[in-house]
Amino acid sequence: MAVPNQLKNQHLLWRAGFGPAVEQLPDLSVFSPQQVYKAMVKAAAKKPSYINVVSNQLEGLMAGIQEAGRQQKKELTQEQRKDLQKQNREGIKSLNMYWLKEMVNSPAQLREKISFFWHGHFACRNLNVYYQQGLLNAIRQNALGNFGTLLKEVSKSAAMLNFLNNQQNRKDHPNENFAREVMELFTLGRGNYTEQDIKEAARAFTGWGANAQGEFVFRKAVHDDGSKTVLGQTGNWQGDDVLDILLQQKQTARFITEKIYRFFVNDTIDTQKVQSLAERFYKNKYDISSLLEDIFTSEWFYDEKNIGAKIKSPVELLAGIQRMLPMTISNEESILVLQRILGQVLFYPPNVAGWPGGKNWIDSSTLMMRMRIPQLINDEDVLNVKPKDDDDQMMGRGDDQKPVANLKKNMKNVGAKTIDADVDWNKYIQAFTKTDRNKLINTLSGILLQTKTGVSEGVIKSYSDETSRENFIRTATIQIMSTPEYQLS
């Protein structure tokens, strides 16, 4: 059975972006997926602006510390260090919120979505907001360009060099962590290199570091300038040479293509399609836009088996709801808490490999929480679940999270009780003015759900307010969004 245009376009908007926005609903059945994708590419063509969330307070603090350092040549006091950590944590929270708003509101959906993919691929925890926003800028600027350029920009970022300990990588005392992760996680994948390759590559990366301002610095004095052999190639290699050698390997194109396929198409790999895509990716000299076009304009991308086949990540879920239901959120802290509860906080990946995704997003507690989010947004529920205890993700609030009998009070400790969302229901309801009352549930389900199995019309009706058309649309929408089916894209 042919997949209707509307469903295809919703599929495209969920995978190549963060779901359809309410203002796009009239166009879903009118335009072809090829036309919609062309519009998405055009909207993403403009270079993104640098996201700078550093507060005046942190700027002043950094300037004062640098000046004192120049004058006194002393290390930071304990109070200065504590204040600096606090300001950096606040900065990373602001960066999180700012970027999530871009995911929701930006017309450049394709750029933000592929940037979100690279954010997980180049996973990095760093509590320096200058470093994190520098890394995010490197990703967003190059997200749709050349993978080789992106790889080099990320590899030279202060955030990644510090996170992977390359600041400690010196001749005579090489640190292999950076070289290992570049091969295992960023390019070749595990099993496609030897331990000797890592040792030799680590020598090539000696001297790579960054200054306090986050600028890349090559410290020649600590660089090993001897001959190295990496993946069978011998020379007086430096870091860029090693990255070029890695890019010469067709395995790098295969590894990246497979990961992109899992993220954008299906967790179950079609090896024949991945091989074909990888060969073109390699032939096109790692042009990311061409690879995405090969995927999103293909007929097989819109096969039934690929639609509704992926579990939305927490960030995709939160962004997607806000795109469909335009809203202003007074208590932004609550969105950070939801990210923590659901297991995905931007800029706080669980480890160097990033978020595993797929069925790992769902367990008994997170599924129930996911299904409660629409009620929370509609202020019919209270956020009363204690987040998982990870002090980094809790932005230094570990001491505040003592168990209390009243979990509602506990959430108040972290500034989150209700989401306090003001939904523009009129804008949403207007999209259904031409829909017959008896067809509303089917129409709403067709737009909100990507699964073949619908929801019970009787169940939705029994939990909806039928006192007026407007109330019915509003409450039925909340109920449909609260189903397990809504978790799939």
Q: Write down the pLDDT at residue 454.
A: 73
* Of 47, 48, 38, 46, residue with least CA distance to 16: 38
N- to C-terminal Cα distance for the chain? Answer: 19
Q: For 40-98, how does the pLDDT look when each residue is reduced to its tens digit (9 = 90+)?
A: 999 999 999 999 999 888 887 777 666 555 544 457 788 888 988 999 999 999 999 99
Q: Write down the pLDDT at residue 406.
A: 35
Is residue 312, in this structure, part of any structural domain at all? Answer: no
Question: What does the DSSP 8-state code read for residue 17?
Answer: S
Is residue 321, in this structure, part of any structural domain at all? Answer: no
> What's this model's pTM, rounded to 2 decimal places?
0.93
Q: For 135-154, how does the pLDDT look when each residue is reduced to its tens digit (9 = 90+)?
A: 999 999 999 999 999 999 99
Domain range holding 438?
425-487
Which segments in the chain show pLDDT lower than 50? 71-73, 391, 393-416
Is residue 196, in this structure, part of any structural domain at all? Answer: yes
Q: Write down the pLDDT at residue 413.
A: 41
Q: Which of 408, 423, 438 is the last residue of a domain?
A: 423
Residues 310 and 489: beta-carbon distance below 8 Å:
yes
Distance CA 327, CA 389 (A): 30
Q: Counting beta carbons within 10 angstroms of the beta carbon of residue 342, is it exposed (0 to 12), middle (13 to 18) or buried (19 or more)? A: buried
Is residue 261, in this structure, part of any structural domain at all? Answer: yes
359 backbone dihedrals φ, ψ, rounded to 5°: -70, -10
The alpha carbon of residue 427 and the mean position of all alpha carbons in its chain are separated, in whole angstroms, by: 28
Distance CA 70, CA 73 (A): 6
* Number of independent structural domains in the chain: 4
Residue 233 and residue 113 share a domain: yes
Contacts of 297 (CB under 8 A, 6+ apart): 33, 34, 37
Q: Write down the pLDDT at residue 61.
A: 72
User: In the chain, what is the greatest distance between 2 CA atoms, to the nearest angstrom?
Assistant: 80
Question: Helices 440-448 and 469-481, interaxial angle, to 10°?
Answer: 40
Distance CA 445, CA 451 (A): 9
Residue 385 and residue 243 share a domain: no
Q: Write down the pLDDT at residue 181.
A: 98
Residues 378 and 481: beta-carbon distance below 8 Å:
no
Q: Write down the pLDDT at residue 2.
A: 80
